[in-house]
Structures are given as C-alpha cells and as structure tokens.
Structure 1
Amino acid sequence: MSSTKIHLSKATFTLSAPDIRRLPEDTGIEVAFAGRSNAGKSSALNTLTNQNGLARISKTPGRTQLINVFEVAENKRLIDLPGYGFAKVPLEMKKKWQKALGEYLEKRDSLKGLVVLMDIRHPLKDLDMDLIQWAADSDLPVLALLTKCDKLSQGKRSAEVLKVKKALATLNADIRVQAFSSLKRTGAEQADVVICDWLAQDDFIQDEADNLELS
C-alpha cells in the first residue's frame, strides 16, 4: 500500500448536509457508514476514531437526519449517512432521509467503500440486504460490521458471523464480514485496516504512477 498512513483518529467534523448538493466537492475518497437506526452507527464511528464525541449518540435511535461529513486527511472523508428502518418519526421525514441516502449512494463518485452496520442479533433485514445488493451491483466494496457482539457468547457470535458470510457469499462481491463491539472494541483494529486501505487508494495509485515514471 501507500507510504502515506491514514489515521482515523484525526477525523474532524466538517459539516452536516440535508442532501448531496450541500456536500463538499465530489473529489478524493469517501467511506460511508450506513445502517438501521438502532445498529450503533454513531458509537462505531466514535470507537474507530478514538473520539467519544465525534458522532453524536442519542438515546432515541434515528436522530441522524443529515449527511454528516468528517475529514480524516486532505480529500479523505468519512460520511455518516442517515439511519434507516427504525426511527419513530413522521413518514414524510423518513422519505426525506431515504431520498438523501439514495442520492448519495447513486451519485457520489468519491464513494469508494461502504461500511454497513447491523445488530449481530438481527442482521440482514430487508433494507440491509437492499443496500448490500446495491453495493454489489455497483462493484463497491463492503465491510459488514455485526455490532453489539458483546451481547452474545463467543460461540453464538462466531455462528452468526458464519451465517452472514454464507448468505452474502452468494452475491459474489467484495464483502467482508466481522463481529464488532464499540463497548469492548472487538473488531476495531481489523475494521481500521480495511477503512484506511480504502481511504489510501488514490495514494497507492499515485505511488504506482510515480514508480513507473522512475523505472
């Protein structure tokens, strides 16, 4: 990989946008986080960046109503997408969130990796599968984090991970599955490696180009 090391701990909040038209210029690399409103998305972001308050955690699931942007390095961003599926909010607001989510996924060229968070006790709901299927069809790599794994025994946790891996293997896509716990930091190191590799893609390509010029 590139000699440039990405550090998620350097992530800083940039802005919140109601739709893609308010986002930063569509250049560089973005890794997006998506999941049901009760999947622990904000907690995972805070764990991966080693910052307790980077992403706001609410006692009421579904409070992430905007697209939140965090800059990790120049032209390298983490994107916190609106949660889906659970929030007790008016239907019109849900539709607005879903539109913002869909537009981002379909039109954002800088999106290079998708982290899908699912409660390990309730994975692969219809909306989760729709999202992962879309990513597979779009040749977008996916990291499926099965959150709250500390709530299961080691044996049950391993069984759930294996079951999800088998279900997603039928898509024949670049999908990695792992157990994750924000509380215990289980899987945080492995997830960090995957996400940082995605964010460093353009550096790797530039290094390759530079090496070709020197050869």
Structure 2
Amino acid sequence: MTEYSLIELPYEYDALSPKISEQVMEWHHDVHHQGYVGGVNDAEQKLQEQREEGDFSNTASLLNQFTHNYCGNVLHEMFWNNMSPTGGGEPEGHLMEKIQEDFGSYENWKKEFKEAAKSASGWALLVYIPYTNELHNVPVDNHDDGAVWGAHPVLALDVWEHSYYHDYGPERGEFIDNFFDLIKWSDVQQNFEEMAEKFE
C-alpha cells in the first residue's frame, strides 16, 4: 500500500506575491493540499482493511474518497511545480510547435485555456492525449469530474475558490490572467516531453 506525503513547495510561501499572497499559499499548501494527502492515505488504509476482513459495506464511499483525494494530490503537486517567481513568457521548442499545430497559435491556446478556467469549478488543465498525439484544454470540476481517459496533464491551474478568493474576491478572471505571469514553461515542457517520448 502506498503512503502519500505532502511535497515541499519549490519556493518560499511569499515568492509568488503579490499575484498569490503568502497567506493564500500557506492555507492552500499546508491545509488544503495536506487534507488531500491525509484523505487518500485514510482511504487506502480503510480499503486495505476491508479487503483483509472481507467486509465491503463501505466500499463505495471509500472509493470515491480515494479518487477525489488522489486526484487532488496529483494536481496540486503539478500546480506548485508549474509556477515560479521568475515564470511567465511563452513556451519554446517542441511544446510551442505542438501548441501552434493543435490550436493554430499560442494566443488561440491561451484564450481557450482562459475559457476553460472560467467555466471549471475545479481545474483548468492542458493535457496531452497520446492516442491522437494532440494537446487539449480540459475544464475539470472538483478534482476528477470531466477528466479525459488516457490524457496526461502537463499544466494545471487550480480555480477552486480557496486558490484565489482571499486575494481577488470574485474577480477570478484577474487571477487567471496573473497565472500566466507565473507559469514555469520549462516544467510544462518537461512534462510534455516525458509523455510524448513514452508514446512515440
């Protein structure tokens, strides 16, 4: 049975300020993300106990608990690593070429990603689908509603209210705009290259 742990942030809590405040980073990482780590570990432990005891009376709720918290943990790990205090700019190399091929232009991709982020009640994701060798933008509700089977996220933006409301109030669009100034494109590029190479 896997035991999950909370990863450390790759920068200080105040490093992304003023676009994301120190207070929000502390709450988001230490409370919300930690909650998903605890939730997935709890679900794993209880599912294992049920298998050993042969009692599956609570299995449905535990499986839902596992899915929700596992996805929350994975996406938060990507979200933290996708950002940097020296982020921003535009992608380069193979990733930029693929974005231009699949979306027509970087600006087209950016506009579509913004719309995904505005419509989602959880996450906006840029995913790579190896079956078609294409990039797609995907709005995801909660952590797991609307996910595309077989797709691999390479860029994640958390649009749950806990990620922005303290800093921006109801102005989600401003938070989304500022996210582009934080994107660490080298990390997104690495995620994309790793997936693309596996399925070539």
TM-score of the superposed pair, with normalisation by structure 2: 0.30
Question: More strand by proportion, 1 or 2?
Answer: 1
TM-score of the superposed pair, with normalisation by structure 1: 0.28
